[in-house]
Amino acid sequence: MTTITRPAGTVSVRVPAKINLQLSVGPLRADGYHDVVTVYHAVALFDEITVSAADRTSVEVTGEGVASVPLGPTNLAVKAAAALAKATGRRSRSVSGGSSGRGSSVGSSGRGAAGGSGRSSFRGSSAGGSGGSSPRGSTAVKIEIRKRIPVAAGLAGGSADAAATLVACNELWRTGLSPSELAEIAANLGSDVPFALAGGTAVGLGRGEQLTTALAAGSYDWVLAFGATGLATPDVYAACDRLRAARKSGDGVPAATPPELSTELMAALRTGDPAEVGPLLSNDLQPAALSLQPLLRRALAAGKEHGALGAVVSGSGPTCAFLASDADAASELAVGITGAGVCRAVVQVTGPAPGACLVDSGIAT
Ligand code: C5P
């Protein structure tokens, strides 16, 4: 058995990707969001975040799609550390250098190295935004993100990293916040962040941040097909609004009706039978994602052709999720979809997976 020993004062957290088994989208709200009814399902594809006390806040990203991970203050993990620091009233000491981050990222414009996988980093001011000179009691942290969840893929990878950073800093700083207090901070960071904390299978209302655990039995075998390029969530919601507006002016049908939870899907999830669940997967954002990346149609078709029980774009896409009857069927499906040449890569995963949890802590007890 291999034991990984972390240096004292570091905390590591593992956090899953999510797919949406149902995503029903209501009309555009005045605040720019849409009311949704969604069924989140965490899958065993994990990012790992390690935080440690530091003189200055820095982010280092390795792994899948680092080129597209924002570095510096716009990184959601940095925002998560800052939000936790603020909520718990941690001191942030001023140091010379002021509040703007000093990017030392590889490449330009605060992003990482070119290429799908690699390493990039940023060093800036304290997470609190006003500098931090002392590891003890300061808000400055070194955040290391090991990515396996693709970026801008509809799998809530950025939200997952934010959730993991909340859990890690909560432990590092011994703030003692409860899960519900962390969930409240998470909801302000992004609609999908509370679910990354919770994991499992859950119904999300409001923007998606109001969670109720779903009564779901069994475990499910999935194949995820990753797109060649990402899709930005706001672009996909905007495309959804445009498609609905065009439809409304065409046939007089209301652009969007209030979303409702699928009682059929909830009943199917209680049986634990993938053959019941597969045909009930649904996503109101799918037509919008397909309009932006027409190749996704071929990916969905290839999955069905190779025996998927259900095929759906996950969230805002472009990842397509395919449900299989068991692990062997998922392996065959993965081979078939790979052979069809309609996506960048496929992975086989199971769900539900647990939410953000500590994997290691070098904190003395
Ligand atoms: O909550 P989050 O920051 O992840 O949302 C990103 C963007 O996705 C929002 O700015 C909005 O454009 C869109 N969105 C939405 N309705 C939701 C969730 C997200 O319109 N329920």
Pick the atom of ligand 1 nearest to 192's CA.
4
Quote the pLDDT of residue 99.
28
Of 47, 161, 192, 284, catalytic = 192
> What's the rounded Cα separation, in Å, for the pair 356 and 40?
14
Query: Quick one: which atom of ligand 1 is closest to the CA of 237?
Result: 20
* pLDDT at residue 143, rounded to an integer: 97
What residues in the chain have per-residue pLDDT under 50? Answer: 1-5, 92-116, 127-135
pLDDT in tens, 5-37: 455 689 999 999 999 999 999 999 999 999 999
Residues 202 and 40: their CA atoms lie apart, in Å, by 5
Residue-wise pLDDT tens digits, 281-291: 999 999 999 99
DSSP 8-class letter at 102: B
Q: Is the CB of 152 under 6 A from ligand 1?
A: no
Q: What is the pTM of this model?
A: 0.88
- State yes or no: is 18 an active-site residue: yes
Strand 282-283 vs strand 10-28: parallel, antiparallel, or unpaired?
A: parallel
192 is annotated as an active-site residue: yes
Q: For residue 316, which atom of ligand 1 is closest to its CA?
A: 8
Contact 120, 105 (CB under 8 A): yes
Q: Is 207 in the pocket of ligand 1 (CB under 6 A)?
A: yes
Q: How far apart are CA 72 and CA 64, in angstroms?
A: 18
Kindly state the percentage of the chain with pLDDT values over 90: 75
Q: Apex CA 11: angle with CA 99 and CA 147, to 5°? A: 80
Give the other-Cβ count within 10 Å of 253's Cβ.
11
User: So what's the pLDDT on residue 67?
Assistant: 87
- CA–CA dist 172, 138 (Å, integer): 11
- Which of 32, 18, 39 minimizes the C-alpha distance to 284? 39
Q: Which of 18, 79, 142, 147 is catalytic?
A: 18
Pocket probe mutation, ligand 1, options 29, 33, 203, max atoms within 8 Å of Cβ: 33
Distance of CA 69 from the midpoint of ligand 1 (Å): 18
Query: How far is the centre of ligand 1, averaged over its atoms, from the C-alpha of 33 (Å)?
Result: 5
pLDDT of res. 128 = 43
Question: What's the pLDDT at 103?
Answer: 29
Describe the chain by its helix, strand, coil percentages, rounded to 5. 30, 30, 40
Q: What's the CA-to-centroid distance between 251 and ligand 1, angstroms?
A: 28
Pocket of ligand 1 contains residue 38 by CB under 6 Å? no
Contact indicator for 84, 175 with CB cutoff of 8 Å:
yes
Cβ neighbours of 161 (radius 10 Å): 32
Q: Tell me the CA–centroid distance for residue 208 and ligand 1, in Å.
A: 9
If you measure from the C-alpha of residue 205 to the centroid of ligand 1, how many angstroms do you get, rounded to a whole number? 13
